Structure 1
Amino acid sequence: MDSTGRRRRRHWAALLGAAALVATGASATTAAATAAAADAVDFATHCIPPAIAGIPPIDGTTTAQIAVDNAAPKVGDTVTVTYTVVKPAASNPVDLALPADIMTPTGKVTLSGAQSGELTVAGPKKNDPVPGKGAFPSFSMTGTFTVTAPGAIKLSPGDYNIHTSYIMELDTPCTVTNPPAPVSETVTATDGGGTTNPRTVQLGSASGKPGDAVTVTGAKFTPGATVTLAGRNGAAETADKASATADAQGSFTGSLTVTDKATTGVVAYEGSSWSTEKGAGPAAYVVIDDTPLPADSQKVNTSVKAGTLSMSQAGDTVDLAGVDFGKGGFSRGDLRTVTVKDFRGGPAGWSLTGKVTDFAGPGGASVSGDKLGWTPVCVTKQGSPSTCKAGSPGSVGSAGATLASAPDGALTGGEFTVDARLSLNVPAYTPPGAYSAVLTLTLS
C-alpha cells in the first residue's frame, strides 16, 4: 500500500464518541444531592416519663427542624425527610446517668397542602452521654414519602418517642399539644408528566418490641385487591408478612406482627411480589430488642447496610480499526470494560442495555448505527450471589440491545465485568474521512 493509502486508512479510523452512562431504577438519585434545611420551629409538647421515674407528665416546648433532600421534586419522586429535635421538651427522668449510644428515637412528620398524611421517621441508636436528670441531647430521625400530587407540600414535626436501652427498656413519648405543629419546611412538587403510582402507606407506630403488632393503613390501592404487608430491610424483605383487603375506595387497615429484628421499614403491595408500580413504602419502623441479658454480659450489635446499583467504565472512547475506501468491510474494536456493582442486597436483578446513533462523517456522509454489532461477554466475580448473563450477539442500532443482565432472585448482588467485541460493517465506497457515533449504556 502506498503512503496515500496508509494516510486514508488512518484518517478513516472510526471513532466511537464518549459513551453516556445513565443509571436508572434502584440507583437513581434526586437532582438535589444535599439536604435543604428549613426553619426551626417551637411547639408545645406533652411528655410522659416512664412510670418508674415517679414524676408527673412534662409540659414543655420542643424546638425542631425538618430538612429534605429534594425541595423541588416531581410527582412520583421519593423524598427523604430528616426530622431533627434540636431541643427536646423532656429530660433524663432518672437519677442514673445514661451512657452513650443507648437512645433510639422515633417519630412522625405531618404532611399538608397539596398532599396530606403522616410519615414515620426513625433514628439510629446514637447519643452523647446524658447525666442523671440531665437534658436529652439533640437527635435526628429519617423517613421517606412518595410525591403523589403537584403543588406545595408542607411538612410539620409531629409526635416523637425517646426509647432508652440501659439496664431496662424505657420510653418517654412526647405528643404535640395543639397539632399540627408549625410548618418547618415546604417542598414544591411539579407534575412529572407520566403515569404516577398514587398508593400510600402509613404506620400507627414507628417502633415496637419483637412480637408487637403495628397498624398499617393504605390508600389509593386497587379496590378489592389483596394487599401484602411486609417488613423490609433495605431492598430485601424480612420474615414479617401479613395481608389485608382494599375496600371499594382502595383503602385498607391491617395489622402486621413484627418479630424479625432486622425489620427497619414496612411496605404494602399488590400482587405476588413487590413492585414500584403497585407498592407503597417503606415506612420507617424500629424493632426495640428487649431480650434480657444474662448477668455480667454485654450485647454487641451491628448491621449490614444496603448499598446501590452502579456501574463504571474503563474510559469513554473506542477506536475501531480503519477500512479501505472501495472495499469496505468490518471495522473492529473492543468496548471499554464496564464494571457493574450491585450492592442493594434485595431480590431485584438488573439489565445493562445499549443503543448507538448513526456514525456521522465528512460532508454529511454517515454509516447507519444498525451496522454496529457486538458480541458481549460477562464475568461474575467469585462469591457474588447472582450470576450475570451476556447479551446475544447482534446489531446494536438506535433501538438498542441487551449487553448483560442478572435475574431476580431471593437474594441478588455482586460484582460483574462486562466486555464486548465491536464490529462496524462499513459499505464499500463509503466516503473517506473520520466517522463517530455515541454509544449510550443504561443500567436498570
Structure 2
Amino acid sequence: MGPTLRRPRRRRWASLLAVTAVAVTAGGALACPAGAAGTNVDFATHCIPPAIAGIPPIDGTTTGNVSVDTTTPKVGDTVTVTYTVVTAAASNPTELALPADIMTPTGKVTLGGAQTGDVTVAGPKKNEPVPGKGAFPSFSMTGTFKVTQPGAITLSPGDYNIHTSYIMELDTPCTVITPPAPVSETVTATDSTPVNQRAITLGSASGNAGDSVTVNGTGFTPGATVTLAGRSGDKQTKDTATVTADAKGTFSGPLVVNDKTTTGIVAYEGASWDEKKGAGPAAYAVGGTTPPTPDGSQKLTTTVKAGTLSMTQAGNAVALSAVDFGKGGASTGSLNKVTVRDFRGGPAGWSLTGKVTDFTNAKFTGPSAKIDAGKLSWTPACETKAGSPSTCKAGSAGTVGSSGATLASAPDGTLTGGEFSVDAGLSLDVPAFTPAGSYSAVLTLTLT
C-alpha cells in the first residue's frame, strides 16, 4: 500500500509545480495590441514564486515595451497605455507542459518628467499552452491616465504580477530591482484649459472576487461625496461605495469588488457617471476560483488561438472627377473599400485614420501648381459584419488634410473583434484658376 499511495502524491505535486513555474517566469501568450510601440528596454527583475513551489526567487532580465495611443495629448486628455512584456525573466524550468488560459497579468507603468505617478495596467486571462522547458511568449496589459501637466512625460515599464488559476489561485510578483526602469516611451503634452483635473490611482491592479481595493483620488471638489464604482467594459457594475473628499479635494477609500467581469474602476461626483465630474477607469482584474478535478473525472480543454488586427483595400488608385479651369469646384470620388479584420480576441478596440499629401502637378512648380492637402474632405461610412462582438463607428465628415482625421473606429470592451467594411465619399475643393493638368496626392491609411 505504501508505494501505491506515494506515486499519486508525486503526480499531484508535479502539477502544482507546473503552475508555480508559470508564475515565476511571468509568461503568457497574449497578443500585443496594434499601435505605434515605444522602444524595447531591458531591466533587471526579481520574481518571487509562491512558497508552495519550493523554488527560490529568480533574478533575471525582462524586456519591456510601453506604447500609447497618442504621443501629443493635451492637458485634460486621457491617454491609453499598453505595457508589453516582450521577453520574461525566465523560461519554463520544468519538463511539464502548461495548459492554456490560466494566467491573468497585471502591473504598473511609471510616469516621470512633467507628470509623475504610476498607471495600473491589466491584461486578459489568455495564454497558449507552453511546452516543458519552453520559452514564454510575450503578454500585454493596458490602462489609462489623465494628463494633468504640460511638457514631456516619460513612461517606463514597472513591476508586474502573474495570477494563475489552475488547481489553486497563486500570485507571483516580479519587481524592478533598480527602479525606475529605462524610459520606453515619451509623450509631449501641450497646455490647454483643463475642464477636469480629477484623477484616481489604485492600491492594487487585481484581486479575487470579494477583495477590497483602495482607491485614491485627487482634484475632486473639496467636501464632495464621491462614488466609487466597478466597470465592466463601458457599463457600471453593482459594486459601489462612497467617500468624502477632504479640504484639498483628495480622498482614499476602499471598494469591495465582487463582479468577476470587472475591467476597471471609476470615481465620480453626482448621482451617475459623468466624465466631466469623474476619473478613470483605472484598470483592474478579478481572479476566480477553479476547483480541482474530482477523482474519476477527466478535464477537457481546447484552445481558441488569437489572431491579428489587419486591413485590406479593394484597390490603390482613385480617379476623382475633372473640373474646369476658371470654374474650379468639387472634384469628387469614392475611397476604395477597406476591410478591417480584428481577430485578436482581447479588450482593445481599434482606430483607422488617414492623412493626405498636397496635390501636385509633375509638369509645373510653384504655389499656383499645387492644391493644398486641406482642400480634401471625406464623408466616412462603416458597416459591421453580423455576429461581430464590436460595432464600428464612422469618423466625422470633414477635412482630411496633412494632419489626418479618423475614418472609422471601434471602442475598447470586455471582448472585442469582428469584421468591418469601411469607405468614404471624397471631395477635393479645387481653386478656380488652378493651372490645367493632372494632379496627384497620396492618401495614407493607418490602423492602430
* Pairwise TM-score range, normalised by the shorter structure: 0.5 to 0.7
Question: Would the alpha carbon gap of residues 117 and 252 (structure 1) be closer, same or farther in structure 2, given more than 3 Å must change?
Answer: same
The answer (yes or no) to whether the contact 2:168–2:290 under 8 Å persists in 1 is no
- Which residue does the alignment assign to 2:165? 165
When residues 160 and 93 of structure 1 are mapped into structure 2, their CA distance, relative to the original with a 3 A threshold, is: farther
Shift, 1:168, TM fit: 2.6
Contact kept, 8 Å, 2:79 with 2:146, in 1: the verdict is yes
Structure-to-structure mapping, 1:1-80, within 5 angstroms: 35-80=35-80
Contact 1:34 1:69 in 2 (8 A): no
Question: Which residue in the other structure is 2:97 paired with?
Answer: 97
Alpha-carbon shift at residue 165 of structure 1 (Å): 2.1
Q: Does 1:139 align with 2:131?
A: no
8 Å contact 1:103–1:162 — kept in the other structure?
yes
Say which SS state the counterpart of residue 164 (structure 2) adopts. strand
CA distance in 2, matches of 1:244, 1:91: 44
- Which amino acid in the other structure matches residue 74 of structure 2? K
Residue by residue over 1:141-189, the C-alpha shift from the partner in whole angstroms, topping out at 9 and shown as x without a partner, is: 1111122221111111111011222233222210111111111100011
Residue 272 of structure 2 aligns with an amino acid whose one-letter code is S
Runs of 4+ in 1 over 4 A off after TM superposition: 297-302
How far does the alpha carbon of each residue in 1:256-304 deviate from its partner, in whole angstroms, 9 at most, with x for none?
Answer: 11111111100011111111111000000110111426634569999xx
Aligned counterpart, 2:276: 277
SS, match of residue 156 in structure 2: strand
AA in 2 matched with 1:273? S
| Residue number in structure 2 paired with 1:124 | 124
> Counterpart of 1:183?
183
Look up the match of 1:407: none
Within-5 A mapping of 1:9-408: 35-92=35-92, 96-132=96-132, 134-192=134-192, 194-292=193-291, 295=294, 296=297
1:34–1:61: structure 2 CA closer, same or farther, 3 Å change rule?
closer
CA pair 235-166 structure 1, distance change in 2 beyond 3 A: same
1:67 maps to amino acid: S
Q: Measured at CA, do residues 67 and 195 of structure 1 come closer, stay the same or move farther in structure 2, by a change above 3 Å?
A: closer
2:93, 2:223 → 1: CA distance?
48
What SS class does the counterpart of residue 156 from structure 1 fall into? strand
Letter in 2 for 1:213: S
| Aligned amino acid, residue 139 of structure 1 | F
CA positional deviation for 1:34 = 6.7
Amino acid in the other structure paired with 2:270 = G
Contact 1:35–1:70 (Cα < 8 Å) also in 2 = no
Q: Percent identity?
A: 72
In structure 1, distance between residues paired with 2:259 and 2:301: 17
* Matched-pair contact (CA < 8 Å) for 1:104–1:164: yes
Distance 1:154 1:120 in 2: 15
Distance (whole Å) between structure 1 residues aligned to residue 260 and residue 123 of structure 2: 15
Change (3 A) 1:223 1:299: farther
Give ranges in structure 2 of 5+ residues lacking alignment.
Answer: 1-32, 305-448
Q: In the alignment, residue 128 of structure 1 is paired with which amino acid?
A: E
Q: Distance in 2 between matches of 1:190 and 1:242?
A: 35
Secondary structure at 2:63 match in 1: strand
Q: Secondary structure at the match of 2:39?
A: strand
Scaled by the length of structure 2, what TM-score is found? 0.57
Following superposition, the deviation at residue 112 of structure 1 comes to 1.5
- SS in structure 2 at match of 1:223: coil
Alpha-carbon RMSD: 2.3
Structure 1 counterpart SS, 2:52: helix
Displacement of 1:244 in angstroms is 1.6
SS in 2 for 1:52: helix
Deviation by residue 1:124-143 (Cα, 9 ceiling, x = unmatched) = 22223223454432111111
Q: Which amino acid aligns with 2:261?
A: A
Query: Equivalent residue of 2:40, what SS?
Result: strand
CA contact (8 A) 1:204 1:216 kept: yes
Instruction: Report the Cα distance in structure 2 between the residues aligned to 1:179 and 1:209, rounded to whole angstroms.
Output: 28
Task: Please list every run of 5 or more consecutive structure 1 residues that lacks an aligned counterpart in the other structure.
Answer: 1-32, 303-444
What is the rounded CA distance, in whole Å, between the counterparts of 2:268 and 2:303 in structure 1? 31
CA distance in 2, matches of 1:275, 1:53: 46
- Larger RCO (alpha carbons 8 Å, 6+ apart): 1
